[in-house]
Structure 1
Amino acid sequence: MTGIRIDSPRLILPTLVFLGTVSTAVGSLGAPLLPTIARLDGVSLAASQWALTITLLAGAVASPVLGKLADGSHRRAVIVGALAIVAAGCVLAALPFGFGWLLVGRAMQGIGLGLVPLAIAAARDALPPAKAGPGIALLGVTTAAGLGIGYPIAGVVTQFFGLAAAFWLGAVITAIAAIGVLVILPDSPARPATKLDLVGAVLLAVAIAGLLLVCAEGPQWGWASTALVVTAVLAIVASVLWVLWELRVASPLVNVRLLVHPSVLAADVMVVLVGAGIYPLLSLVVRYVQTPTDAGYGFDYPAAIAGLMLVPYSLASFFASRVVQRLIARVSLEVLVVASSVVLIGSMVVFLTARGSLIPLLIAMALAGFGIGAIFAVNPAQLHQGVPAHETASANSFYQVLRYIGYSLGSALSATLLVATIPTGGSVPTEGGYSAAAWFGIAALVVAVVAGTLLSRHSARRRAIGVREEQIAAEESLAG
């Protein structure tokens, strides 16, 4: 140990896993606490939704910026700085300053959602080759596991100690993660100084913010409202301008040319479809079990018990990462993703057909956790097949942005389906709303299976062509 540094390679992966889990868990604090936030701050449930929306917005915007900064030689400093912002956001949200300041705090907490790609890039650099693959797969599922951990802990702490206690706890564990990174994570390899593409960052931020606002606020604003249409057009224009700019600039925020590589394209397309298809299940189950029984369905569980419904999801996602590592040597990455998507369809089918009792709901959550854990364990490996080492963080960060877009799209559309079934003068959707949301999830996942199958065949053909070209080159070299 030199100063406050601990030179222990064995502690690197646990530190990175803790970092990824904490950042995702803190970012998810808003979801199970929305009813409590609405009650304590005197706002509507629709307004309280901003405590989640603004976190996703901040995370989506921060992800590519942090990724680009971390592609240089100051990755550890970037991670610690981001964690400091997250911890400060937790403190701000815990203090009794009102709803507006709570939203500011939640936005600061959203910065942490961009840290998992940085952890993956750090693992690729710091771990021995034999351990890098399994380590990266494990880090890939921390986003799923963090949700499964954050929901129940937030529910229990809030029920017994109050809303502020949940955010104080978030500040403490974030500070612990920052200390761990500071003293254990080694310096990243020396690389040329990274120049931040500010124009690209602004254009991408506008595009992401516009798209996520459309997804998140569509049910409240109205899908045909002027505000929504203008926001959607602005997002589309900003997206086009961003792509054109990134193709021209010398040091782009994201190397968009890499996005057409078959393995990168497969990972990016699948994460949007899978995110849209399965993410709503988490909130659907939590909301369903809290519904009063006089609605004709539901279990009337308190928030603490409802949050525990995600424990099987979290445990299964970690288990899936271990199973996937044993299969990667025998099965192609694309086939694993497609098979995992089929498991996700099974989880939605269970929710659709057997949600009237507790055990099937737990089974549905376990299947969802296994499927999403397997996909998130495989996707980073797919990305790394087509991305140079020095662009790992930025490529993973853009992948993370697409994940949040998928989450927001699925969450918004499922919420719209639920709200559409609320009777006039009522406040609780009919059970048919949950069936409609489940059918939407199944449809998105079926599209994911079809897209994954087609992309898998395309990727296999590209690899076969590449191998043949190498053989021809070798033969010509020998002949010469």
Structure 2
Amino acid sequence: MSTARENSGTRLLVPSLMVIALVVAAVASLGAPLITTVATTFHVSLNSAQWTLTIALLAGAVSTPILGRLGAGPYRRATILGTLAVVVVGSALTVLPLPFAWLLVGRAGQGVGLGLTALMMGVARDHLPEERSAPTIAQISVVSIMGVGVGYPVAGLLSEVGGVRAAYGLGLFITTIAFLAAWRSIPAAPEGRSAHVDTTGALLLAGGLFLALYLAGERSLWSRHLAVAVVLAVVAAVLLAVWTVTGLRGKAPLIDLKALRHPAVAGANLAMFVGAIGMYVLFTLITRYAQTPHSAGYGFGLSTFVAGLVLIPFSVLGFVGGKLTPPMLKRIDAPFLLAGSAVVIVGGFVLFAAARSNPVDLLLAMSVLGFGVGSFSAAMPGVILAVTPKSETSSAMSFNYITRSVGYSLGSALGGLVLSAGTDTGHLFPNDSAYTTAALVGIGAMAITTGASLVLARKRSPQAAPVAAPTAAPAAAPAGSPSRSGQ
């Protein structure tokens, strides 16, 4: 590779990392505003159409740890390009005039891209100077969440103008751009890396996560086939338990679970898990409330596109919160910023619970939520990476994103359950008071997140040393040799 191309690649690296993280998040979120349109276009039930969103989240949760381990090895560039190629092919399947089953296959292919966010962080940490890598990683974390707010209104507009295929055509266009950006700018991984993918562990984790997220998304299964749901829940618990035991005993686990026992890492993942539940509860409450017709006695009856515009303040203020956080991290410990961000999110819940009589109230609540989520997302990597070696960046952050994905799914399910419980028999829409109850549940979740972050701040050492990278045989590695991921 020529020097000119190296300089060009370095100059384009940060924008490319941002574009890729933004695109994969936006494309995965395309299912949310299109559920009703998909149901009418393909003549399927709303429950079936809901799978266009669920299957993308499932694919992302399953692919994240595998891509994280592959990204820790010497073939990270090939892994990124190959994954983006899968996303592009999946996007093409959503555009082609094929049956509904192929649409689900395409959405699964798009969801695989969610596992790339942790790899983008690994690339930034390896190839940028320290003073640039930390804020870049923070911004990658932020744009991966802000992508939801970007994709929702645009998809809604395209759906209203040109139908569901036009909306998915946006996904094909931007994923192709992301692939070309990666091809041009993503460098090879540093020498001395190796990564072994634990196939058995990958299958156990994939099976356990699939069942857990499936049960979280299929609320009707619990009411109509309780015995089946309980059996599947037990199977999921057994698969995840076996994965945990084998991961702790294995020499090259899919995820280094021993490192996850570090107080900073464990506390950060707990905060992310509970925080994600709370964040997604409010996110879904506001969007659903905005689209509820006036005939229900509340709501504003907004179209998909106009309701999507409510998310613009979420994205804008989230970006602002993410930009302000890195400078603040130089003065305030990341766990304290996590706690403060959780308190801001609580403020969004309080606003929604107390005032939602006009769309301006929703815009204000969504603005506060966006600022809190942006700050929270930007502070989170600092907590984990402060005790993680460079070679394990992708793997460590991939587990954090698994907890986020599971938390989002549970938050969506929890909000739906509360609203369902507040729906009178024979009525289509829940009572207005059910939204207040759901908001109070979200406040409780964020209160737990705040407490976990404060405990983490007290326990964290002022000069925490990175957790040592696992080795297959400590005596076999000569002194001074480079760390080897997954060995």
Same topology, TM > 0.5: yes
Structure 2 partner of 1:232: 233
Structure 1 partner of 2:7: 7
**Paired residue type of 1:300:** G
1:11-30 paired onto structure 2 within 5 Å:
11-30=12-31
Structure 2 partner of 1:470: none
Q: What is the CA–CA distance in structure 2 between the aligned matches of 1:394 and 1:78, rounded to whole Å?
A: 14
1:185-200 paired onto structure 2 within 5 Å:
185-200=186-201
**Pairwise CA distance, 1:42:** 1.6
**Paired residue type of 1:291:** T
Does structure 2 conserve the Cα–Cα contact (< 8 Å) formed by 1:297 and 1:431? yes
Q: What is the CA–CA distance in structure 2 between the aligned matches of 1:325 and 1:123, rounded to whole Å?
A: 15
Does structure 1 conserve the Cα–Cα contact (< 8 Å) formed by 2:72 and 2:193? no
Structure 2 partner of 1:242: 243
Q: What is the CA–CA distance in structure 2 between the aligned matches of 1:375 and 1:116, rounded to whole Å?
A: 16
Q: After superposition, what is the alpha-carbon deviation per residue over 1:317-361, rounded to whole angstroms, capped at 9, x for unaligned?
A: 111112111211111111000000000000011111111111121
Structure 1 partner of 2:91: 90
Does structure 1 conserve the Cα–Cα contact (< 8 Å) formed by 2:215 and 2:221? no
**Paired residue type of 1:75:** R
Structure 2 partner of 1:144: 145
Structure 2 partner of 1:477: none
TM-score by length of 1: 0.93
Structure 1 partner of 2:76: 75
Structure 2 partner of 1:474: none
What percent of counterpart residues are identical? 40
**Pairwise CA distance, 1:95:** 2.1
**Paired residue type of 1:393:** S
Structure 2 partner of 1:273: 274
Structure 2 partner of 1:296: 297
Structure 2 partner of 1:320: 321
Greater shift in the superposed pair: 24-33 or 444-453: 444-453
Does structure 2 conserve the Cα–Cα contact (< 8 Å) formed by 1:222 and 1:228? no
Does structure 2 conserve the Cα–Cα contact (< 8 Å) formed by 1:88 and 1:105? yes
**Pairwise CA distance, 1:425:** 2.8
Root-mean-square deviation (CA), in Å? 1.8
1:254-265 paired onto structure 2 within 5 Å:
254-265=255-266
Greater shift in the superposed pair: 43-52 or 409-418: 43-52
**Paired residue type of 1:15:** S
Structure 1 partner of 2:485: none
**Pairwise CA distance, 1:244:** 1.0
Structure 2 partner of 1:102: 103
**Pairwise CA distance, 1:300:** 1.2
**Paired residue type of 1:206:** G
Q: What is the CA–CA distance in structure 2 between the aligned matches of 1:159 and 1:190, rounded to whole Å?
A: 50
Call closer, same or farther: CA 1:465–1:129 in 2, change over 3 Å. closer
1:383-402 paired onto structure 2 within 5 Å:
383-402=384-403
Q: What is the CA–CA distance in structure 2 between the aligned matches of 1:403 and 1:145, rounded to whole Å?
A: 14
Q: Secondary structure at the match of 1:196?
A: coil
Structure 2 partner of 1:409: 410
Q: What is the CA–CA distance in structure 1 between the aligned matches of 2:266 and 2:464, rounded to whole Å?
A: 18
**Pairwise CA distance, 1:209:** 1.0
Structure 1 partner of 2:55: 54
Q: What is the CA–CA distance in structure 1 between the aligned matches of 2:365 and 2:333, rounded to whole Å?
A: 26
Does structure 2 conserve the Cα–Cα contact (< 8 Å) formed by 1:215 and 1:408? yes
Q: What is the CA–CA distance in structure 2 between the aligned matches of 1:101 and 1:124, rounded to whole Å?
A: 37
**Pairwise CA distance, 1:96:** 2.6
**Paired residue type of 2:391:** H
Structure 2 partner of 1:334: 335
1:204 maps onto 2:205 in alignment: yes
Call closer, same or farther: CA 1:297–1:6 in 2, change over 3 Å. farther
Structure 2 partner of 1:222: 223
Q: After superposition, what is the alpha-carbon deviation per residue over 1:240-288, rounded to whole angstroms, capped at 9, x for unaligned?
A: 1111111122211100011111221122011111100011222221221
**Pairwise CA distance, 1:308:** 0.8
**Pairwise CA distance, 1:422:** 2.8
Structure 2 partner of 1:475: none
Structure 2 partner of 1:251: 252
1:452 maps onto 2:453 in alignment: yes
**Pairwise CA distance, 1:3:** 11
Q: After superposition, what is the alpha-carbon deviation per residue over 1:279-302, rounded to whole angstroms, capped at 9, x for unaligned?
A: 122222122111111111111111
Call closer, same or farther: CA 1:401–1:223 in 2, change over 3 Å. farther
Return structure 1 stretches of 4+ with deviation > 3 angstroms.
1-7, 462-466
Call closer, same or farther: CA 1:4–1:28 in 2, change over 3 Å. farther
**Paired residue type of 1:166:** A
Q: Secondary structure at the match of 2:218?
A: helix
**Pairwise CA distance, 1:24:** 0.2
Greater shift in the superposed pair: 196-205 or 448-457: 448-457
Call closer, same or farther: CA 1:259–1:169 in 2, change over 3 Å. same
Q: What is the CA–CA distance in structure 2 between the aligned matches of 1:289 and 1:6, rounded to whole Å?
A: 49
**Pairwise CA distance, 1:7:** 3.2
Q: Secondary structure at the match of 1:222?
A: helix
Call closer, same or farther: CA 1:128–1:223 in 2, change over 3 Å. farther
**Pairwise CA distance, 1:464:** 7.3
**Pairwise CA distance, 1:79:** 0.9
Q: What is the CA–CA distance in structure 1 between the aligned matches of 2:206 and 2:219, rounded to whole Å?
A: 19
Q: What is the CA–CA distance in structure 2 between the aligned matches of 1:464 and 1:91, rounded to whole Å?
A: 49
Q: Secondary structure at the match of 1:28?
A: helix
Call closer, same or farther: CA 1:159–1:5 in 2, change over 3 Å. farther
**Pairwise CA distance, 1:2:** 4.5
Q: After superposition, what is the alpha-carbon deviation per residue over 1:176-198, rounded to whole angstroms, capped at 9, x for unaligned?
A: 11111111122221133321110
Q: After superposition, what is the alpha-carbon deviation per residue over 1:222-251, rounded to whole angstroms, capped at 9, x for unaligned?
A: 297012111111111111111111112221
Structure 2 partner of 1:353: 354
Q: Secondary structure at the match of 1:395?
A: helix
Call closer, same or farther: CA 1:465–1:83 in 2, change over 3 Å. closer
Q: What is the CA–CA distance in structure 2 between the aligned matches of 1:412 and 1:184, rounded to whole Å?
A: 39
1:305 maps onto 2:339 in alignment: no
Greater shift in the superposed pair: 124-133 or 38-47: 38-47
**Paired residue type of 1:448:** T
Structure 1 partner of 2:114: 113
1:126-141 paired onto structure 2 within 5 Å:
126-141=127-142
**Pairwise CA distance, 1:4:** 11
**Pairwise CA distance, 1:36:** 0.9
Structure 1 partner of 2:67: 66
Q: What is the CA–CA distance in structure 2 between the aligned matches of 1:27 and 1:2, rounded to whole Å?
A: 36
Structure 1 partner of 2:426: 425
Does structure 2 conserve the Cα–Cα contact (< 8 Å) formed by 1:219 and 1:416? no
Structure 2 partner of 1:174: 175
Gapped regions of structure 2 (runs ≥ 5)? 466-487
Q: What is the CA–CA distance in structure 1 between the aligned matches of 2:459 and 2:233, rounded to whole Å?
A: 32
**Paired residue type of 1:129:** E
Structure 1 partner of 2:370: 369
Structure 1 partner of 2:441: 440
Q: Secondary structure at the match of 2:197?
A: coil
Structure 1 partner of 2:35: 34
**Pairwise CA distance, 1:433:** 2.2
Does structure 1 conserve the Cα–Cα contact (< 8 Å) formed by 2:193 and 2:391? no
**Pairwise CA distance, 1:426:** 2.7
